[in-house]
Amino acid sequence: MTLRTPRKRLPGPALAILAGLLGGLGLLLLVHLGVELGGPRIDHSGRLAITINGVPERMARDVLLPESGWALQVRLPEDPLEASASEDAAASVPGAPPARAPRKTGPPDGLLVTLRSERTGATIRIEDRFVYHDGVGSLVIPKALGLTPGLFSIRAIYETRDGRRFEDTRRIRIRSWLGGPPIGTRQVIFFDFGIDRNGDGVPDFLQDLERFGLASNADAEGRELARIVANRIEARALERVARAYDPPDDPNQTGRERDPVRVRFRLDPDPDPASLTTRICVGGSDPTGGTSVGHVHFDLRNQLKFSTECGDDPPSGLFPTGLMTYRDAPLFQETFGPFMAERGGVAIGEDPLDPRLLIGPERVGGRPDIDAEEGTRRKEEIERAIALFGDVLGSIMAHEAGHALGLVAEGRPAVGLFGGREREFRVHNLDAFGQPETTPWLMNAGRTLRFEELAGRSPGGPLRFRPLNYAYLRDRIVVPEGRP
Ligand SMILES: [Ca+2]
Ligand SMILES: [Ca+2]
Ligand SMILES: [Zn+2]
């Protein structure tokens, strides 16, 4: 979160000199000075800060907000949960479990948030329930508030128990959607792992797995094991995608269990005929012979509710073989080395231990001669490779689905979402200064993301959407047609 810079104040002596120079006006200034010295001192240092949609102020400055569904946060100079928790603890029975954050609570004593229409001067006092999380109160502005398009100012004042006052103000612009919000509720992304671009009757994805030593399609048993490995990787990848789009990764921490805006991700076609399905094929290598791991058409404002990303010319879809680009990464080598022939490994399905490890001893028959230690090690290596491949692929699926939904609209708000226009930065995250992001976010240019980051094994954990992108995915930001 970007903190506000302190508002500049003239120091006392300068004011006094100015007062002397201005003569008659001096009285007015001295009165002002008197208020400054004697009245309640209001802290504008940024310790109380308003944030919209969790977006840093520099990025949020020109965004347009819809009439409903944007998130307002107020960071308080003290954590109201801690303050009230210690009071609760004092008042409660000794030994009772402490209250756990986040929890719902109304505005704490002393917080006053008002919204003022610049056009009509009408002021609304916001008294809805904030949800607190790490000292930040969040609230999704309800549609019932009845905000109409126009300019508003938000003012938050907080007075602590010992009488200190903090204040922050922000201006926001409300716009209506033209043609409805881009994401809404019926959008489905169907990841089709059945594609067979080379027409040999075997899903290309199973053949991709062979490249990494994760499958052997040599015989019927090998293909059965390959199917098991593929199913597990697909499930893991889908979980990873859902996580990136789901509330636990919402930087706004609104505390909502269900959000009305929801994209559903599936591994099979959605039987609901009312669904709007974008089909993205996963499997095979870049048809142009390049090293791309995926190409899904950028769909500004998600105007295409139905589309198919499975073509050869122009190439579209996900090409897992492209992950070979990372073959020199230590994590890649550690994980897939035990299975890749070129590294002295044995592919899954070629080690006599594998059927028992993947299908289970019940079906394959007990093999008391199997060395327990060797079996355990192989099992761990297989589990690790499935998890890692699933997570890396899932990150790429989440990224490409982001393109299909309109991320990252080119240009700065209000027209775009700080998406770049050139080279690999086209429709990928740039910061408010037009520079590549230093934080590894999900919609950064793929080339700038390291293998460890795609795998979620770097210190930052699994890649996330940056707050501005996430707000867009929740229909909490308006990207207008053309210039606003
Ligand atoms: Ca094939
Ligand atoms: Ca779309
Ligand atoms: Zn991309």
DSSP string covering 399-426: HHHHHHTTTT-BBSTTTSSSBB-SGGGB
Buried b (16+ CB within 10 A) or exposed e, 23-47: eeebeebeeebeeeeeeeeebbebb
When mean pLDDT is compared over 95-104, 131-140, 151-160, the highest value belongs to 151-160
Rounded to the nearest angstrom, the distance between the alpha carbon of 298 and the centre of ligand 2 is 8
Round to whole Å and give the CA distance between 460 and 456: 7
φ and ψ of 136, to 5 deg: -115, 125
**How large is the average pLDDT for residues 425-453?**
96
Q: What is the whole-number distance in angstroms between the Cα of residue 322 and the centre of ligand 1?
A: 16
Starting from the CA of residue 398, give the closest ligand: 3
CA of 309 to the centre of ligand 2 (A): 10
Ligand nearest to the CA of 303: 2
DSSP of 4-59: PPPPP---HHHHHHHHHHHGGGHHHHHHHHHHHHHSPPEE-SSSSEEEETTB-HHH
Number of Cβ within 10 Å of residue 14's Cβ equals: 10
Q: Is residue 135 over pLDDT 50?
A: yes
Percent of the chain whose predicted confidence (pLDDT) is above 90: 59
**Short-list 2, 13, 4, CA closest to 43:** 4
Q: Which ligand does the CA of 200 lie closest to?
A: 1
- Of the listed ligands, the closest to the CA of 277 is 2
CATH no. for 41-90+99-174: 2.60.40.10
Q: What is the pLDDT of residue 21?
A: 31
Compute the distance from residue 209 Cα to the ligand 1 centre, in Å: 12
Tell me the pTM.
0.85
Q: How many angstroms is it from 252 CA to the middle of ligand 1? A: 43
Q: How far is the CA of 447 from the centre of ligand 2 (A)?
A: 23
* Contact criterion met (CB below 8 Å) for 172 and 114: no
CA dist 200 → 184, 318, 366 (Å): 39, 19, 35
**3-state class of 171 per DSSP?**
strand
Tell me the CA–centroid distance for residue 283 and ligand 1, in Å: 8
Q: Which ligand is nearest to the CA of 184?
A: 2
Domain range list for the chain: 1-39, 41-90+99-174, 187-473
Tokens of 159: 């007075």
pLDDT digits (tens, 9 = 90+) for 263-320: 999 999 999 999 999 999 999 888 888 888 999 999 999 999 999 999 988 889 999 9
Q: Ligand 2 (ion): which residues have CB within 5 A?
A: 299, 302, 304, 404
User: Is pLDDT above 60 for 15?
Assistant: no
Q: How far apart are CA 474 and CA 80, in angstroms?
A: 28
Does position 202 have pLDDT exceeding 80, yes or no? yes
Phi, psi of 252 (to 5 degrees): -85, -15
pLDDT-derived band at 428 (thresholds 50, 70, 90) equals: very high
Whole-number Å distance, alpha carbon 191 to ligand 2 midpoint, is 14
Report the mean per-residue pLDDT for the chain.
Answer: 83
Alpha carbons 101 and 96: distance in angstroms, whole number? 16
Cα of 424 from ligand 3 centre, angstroms: 8
Question: Could you tell me the pLDDT band of residue 374, with boundaries at 50, 70 and 90?
Answer: confident
Proximal ligand: closest to the CA of 209: 1
* CA 254 to centroid of ligand 3, rounded, Å: 28
Check residues 230 and 253 and name the one with the higher pLDDT.
230
Residue in this structure with the two tokens 């990494």, named with its chain if needed = 212
Closest alpha carbon to 119 in 78, 151, 95: 151
- CA–centroid distance, residue 434 to ligand 3 (Å): 17
**Contact present, 85 and 203 (Cβ < 8 Å):** no
State yes or no: pLDDT of 235 exceeds 60.
yes
Cα of 147 to ligand 2 centre, how many Å? 28
Query: Which residues are close to ligand 1, an ion, with C-beta < 5 A?
Result: 196, 198, 200, 202, 204
Ligand 2 center–CA 36 separation, angstroms? 55
Ligand 3 midpoint to CA 456 (Å):
17
Query: Distance between CA atoms of 16 and 116, rounded to whole angstroms?
Result: 35
Q: Could you say which ligand is closest to the alpha carbon of residue 446?
A: 3
The CA 21 to ligand 3 mean position distance, Å, reads 61
Average pLDDT over residues 121-142: 81
Which tens digits make up the pLDDT trace of 24-65?
332 233 333 333 444 567 888 778 999 999 899 899 999 999
The single-letter code of the amino acid at 250 is: D
Q: Taking 90 as the threshold, does the pLDDT of residue 459 lie above it?
A: yes
> By the 8 A CB rule, do 31 and 382 touch?
no
Sign of CA dihedral 15, 19, 25, 30: positive
What separation in Å is there between the alpha carbon of 3 and the centre of ligand 3?
A: 30
